Amino acid sequence: MDPLPNDLAAAHAMILAERAARLEAEATAARAQVASSSTDALIARLKLEIEKLRRELYGTRSERKARLLDQLEMQLEDLEADASEDELAAEAAAQSAHVAAFQRKRPARRPFPDHLPRERVVVAAPESCPCGGSFRLVKLGEDVTETLEVIPRQWKVIQTVRERFSCRACEAVTQPPAPFHVIPRGHAGPNLLATVLFEKFGQHQPLNRQSERYAREGIDLPLSTLADHVGACAAVLRPLHALIERHVMTAARLHGDDTPVPILAKGKTDTGRAWVYVRDDRPFGGADPPAVLFRASRDRSGDHPEEHLTRFTGILQADAYAGYNRLLAPDRQPGPIVEALCWSHARRKFFELADIAASRRRGRNAAPISPIAFEAVTRIDALFDIEREINGLGVDQRRGVRQDRSVPLVAELEAWMREHRAQLSRHAPVAQAIDYMLRRWESFTRFLDDGRVCLTNNAAERALRGIALGRKAWLFAGSDRGAARAAVMYSLIGTARLNDVDPQDWLADVLARIADTPQSRLPELLPWNWRAARERGKLAA
């Protein structure tokens, strides 16, 4: 080992040399990763083309073959996005190292918005009276029938002209810089990119279907091109995702939940998970903006929420998933998480045993309605009625109402459940529903002493609803990185929706501005700040 220098200048020189060597090594590794990702994408593209050719040559139309093509297209989509993301990372690393880069009852119809343009079509009036034939007609007024119509999407090419000038004095040539594109050497504008992103992650339309629709409109945007756009945009938007993650994890209370997400594996799909953490202080009158954070994993191990919530200390509202138990340990660092369980989960177990409508649909094979379960649902519903009244009030007001009205109801419910539980077999379905609550009674009743706690975990379930519906469209994630990239975009779009912001409009504006926004001003692009700036601009205008 070389001896360390004794003087400060030599030490500085050594540090700078080591830093330059490290940056060059990182750039080299990034270039290698780009080459690997590009090769993987090429292999996937060739496999897809081979299978399509086989399908055309041999005429196979089996469902299995169709699903194979869907799998290959999804895999290609993620690999193309991976390659694009790696390319941006390699370019950034190369710049740091200074090296070269590689008929029923309907609701009342609301009037159409005033901002929509109106096209007036006047029906020709009669020239004479249809009754007597007289030509002495006098206009009394008119009736207007409004019909909402849509003009098909219009595509256009924006030509940015940069004139060059030469100085007569010094012969120097000057020209404005080229316009910014999110994708290096790309040709897609921010509105087009926002449309692709929102269609894929907000409307759950896979890129192959988008490509087919664009082709019908006369625009050639292959799947690989769209995937390249997605990967580049995800890389550009990650700083905003990091800001949202920081905002969510500094909350005093979070909603947490997860849902299955199939992830493509060799010859099959693994049952991965999409995890969601929602910060929403509006039920107790909090001033902080709501936000949602998604994460993805290939399994449901308790290691994942432990890693997701490493820096979080506060109240976690969730179901009774055992994977959260390590988070509740008193010696946990930086501190234990307080568990508050969901009464909607508990009520659902009773409701399934007391659902009269479902029992009627099942006919003779239906299990008898449980009167105990029916009574439990009725008692729990009384608590929900109180919660609806106090939603949006301050912490102290909510706690005061709960102490006055909910505490007696909860005490009566506990005594009633314990009395009936003593008379039931442990194998009885309603006994299992009762045990689910009584074994965790402290966590279920935590809302009585803390006005910040909600009675349910519905905020997290609402955030996951889009994924549950979208699975029918996109079937599965193409890879682990594809699932992680989807989690980033779901976080951005979900946060925009929670703040009453049009996700597509927001994404288009952010993609157009983010390159010129300094790191210190990136919070201005967060949905709640973006919306406030827009509203101030409207008032000023």
What would the pLDDT profile of 437-492 be if each residue is shown by its tens digit?
999 999 999 999 999 999 999 899 888 887 777 666 665 666 778 788 889 999 99
Mean pLDDT of 212-231: 88
Q: How many domains does the chain contain in total?
A: 2
Q: Are 387 and 455 in contact (CB under 8 A)?
A: yes
Residue with the larger pLDDT of the pair 267 and 77: 77
Instruction: For residue 119, give the nearest of 139, 140, 144 by alpha carbon.
Output: 144
Structure-token pair, residue 86? 């790696």
Q: Of 75, 97, 119, which marks where a domain is finished? A: 97
Q: What is the DSSP string of 88-126?
A: HHHHHHHHHHTS-------PPPPPPPTTS-----PPPPP
Q: Of 47, 81, 97, which marks where a domain is finished? A: 97
Q: Are 512 and 158 in contact (CB under 8 A)?
A: no
Residues 266 and 402: their CA atoms lie apart, in Å, by 53
127, part of any domain? no
Instruction: For residue 498, give the nearest of 242, 190, 194, 248 by alpha carbon.
Output: 248
29, part of any domain? yes
Q: Are 438 and 341 in contact (CB under 8 A)?
A: no
DSSP state of 265: E
Phi first, then psi: give them for residue 214, nearest 5 degrees: -65, -35
- Per-residue pLDDT band for 249 (boundaries 50, 70, 90) equals very high
pLDDT at 509 over 70: yes
Residues 301 and 477: their CA atoms lie apart, in Å, by 19
Contacts of 179 (CB under 8 A, 6+ apart): 160
144, part of any domain? no
Question: Three-class SS of residue 73?
Answer: helix
User: Beta strand pairing status for 253-265 and 315-318?
Assistant: parallel
Range of the domain at 84: 20-97
Mean pLDDT of 203-217: 88
Task: Burial-class residue 173 by CB neighbours within 10 Å (0-12, 13-18, 19+).
Answer: exposed
288, part of any domain? yes
Q: Are 68 and 216 in contact (CB under 8 A)?
A: no
Instruction: For residue 47, give the nearest of 69, 67, 32 by alpha carbon.
Output: 69
Residue with the larger pLDDT of the pair 380 and 112: 380
Residue type, 402: R
478, part of any domain? no
Q: Of 97, 121, 152, which marks where a domain is finished? A: 97
Residues 253 and 337: their CA atoms lie apart, in Å, by 10
Average pLDDT, the chain: 82
Q: What is the DSSP string of 461-486?
A: HHHHHHHHHHHHHH-SBSSHHHHHHH
Mean pLDDT of 244-248: 95
165, part of any domain? no
DSSP state of 7: S
- Per-residue pLDDT band for 136 (boundaries 50, 70, 90) equals confident
Task: Burial-class residue 181 by CB neighbours within 10 Å (0-12, 13-18, 19+).
Answer: middle
506, part of any domain? no
Q: Are 164 and 174 in contact (CB under 8 A)?
A: yes
Q: Are 318 and 258 in contact (CB under 8 A)?
A: no
DSSP state of 366: S
- Per-residue pLDDT band for 341 (boundaries 50, 70, 90) equals very high
379, part of any domain? yes
